[in-house]
Amino acid sequence: MISLRLVKKFKTARTPFSLNVDYSIEDGDKSAVLFGPSGSGKTLTMQCLAGLMRPDAGHIRIGDCTLFDAASNICIPAQQRRIGYMFQDYALFPHLTLLQNVAFPRTGCWPWLVRNGEKEKAYAMLERFGIGRLAGHLPSQISGGQRQRAALARALNADPRLLLLDEPFSALDPLLRERLRDELLELMADLTIPAIIITHDPGDVDAFAGSLILYDHGQARMVPDYAELRPQFAHAGPCLRHLEATYWRTAA
């Protein structure tokens, strides 16, 4: 189980923002989707999970492991959390080859210090995603779909206990997005680790939502019956609009 209770406040001159979410993702749900408008707190939640942002209060637990607990002053450093994070813009190091990028999570050192064993593991991961032949290329020398595969390979090479995917298909054209969505579904069927996915695409919700969490203005609501409700609608979009109207009207 993944248990989250996060409070994070930002005080700015124009638009103060407060994240205040509290929910759990059960072990049986291999993937959970965070769905909601831009600026609602989805990426901020991922940053807190990954250890890139420290909440003001609350806790983060994965199974029996506490990654953060404000009351107990526990905050495990990001590099020790074993969380694979695929950023929306992929965040590949532009001066490193794909092999060096993928090896980085296991070494955390300069590319010329990477041991041969780590190079072999990184190359095997690139091969798994069908881009081993591009191991010596820089990110600027490959296509968007290839960069997406390289970023996912890097996230998985961290030997994660949890995988975070922030808008994994948003930078791709519709046809490539559909193809890579199918590839990711096949990959996740073989994985034994849970994943949390941020998306604005109703198609992604249909594909990946073992659990669905709706976000709006820093608040979150778990949808317990999405799989039962979805067949009542011809498409995912109207179903999600119905849920958003229902949940946030109830919360108002």
7 and 38, same domain (yes or no): yes
Which tens digit of pLDDT belongs to each residue from 67-116?
999 999 999 999 899 999 999 889 999 999 999 999 888 765 555 556 66
Range of the domain at 105: 97-160
The answer as to whether 47 is a domain residue is yes
Distance of CA 219 to the CA centre of its chain: 18
The answer as to whether 54 is a domain residue is yes
Is residue 247 within 8 Å of residue 221, measured between CB atoms?
A: yes
Last residue of a domain, one of 160, 179, 199: 160
Last residue of a domain, one of 117, 132, 160: 160
Residue 54's domain is classified under what CATH number? 3.40.50.300
Residue 141 has pLDDT above 90, yes or no: yes
167 and 152, same domain (yes or no): no
The answer as to whether 87 is a domain residue is no
Total number of domains in the chain: 2
195 and 209, same domain (yes or no): yes
38 and 58, same domain (yes or no): yes
Enter the pTM of the model: 0.89
Please, how many CA atoms are within 13 Å of residue 235, restricted to the half-sphere of its CB?
6
Residue 245 has pLDDT above 70, yes or no: yes
| CB-based contacts of 121-130 (< 8 A; 24+ apart in sequence) | 121/157, 122/153, 122/157, 123/99, 125/153, 125/154, 125/156, 125/157, 126/98, 126/99, 126/102, 126/150, 126/153, 128/153, 129/153
* Burial tier of 23 (Cβ tally within 10 Å: 0-12, 13-18, 19+): middle
167 and 156, same domain (yes or no): no
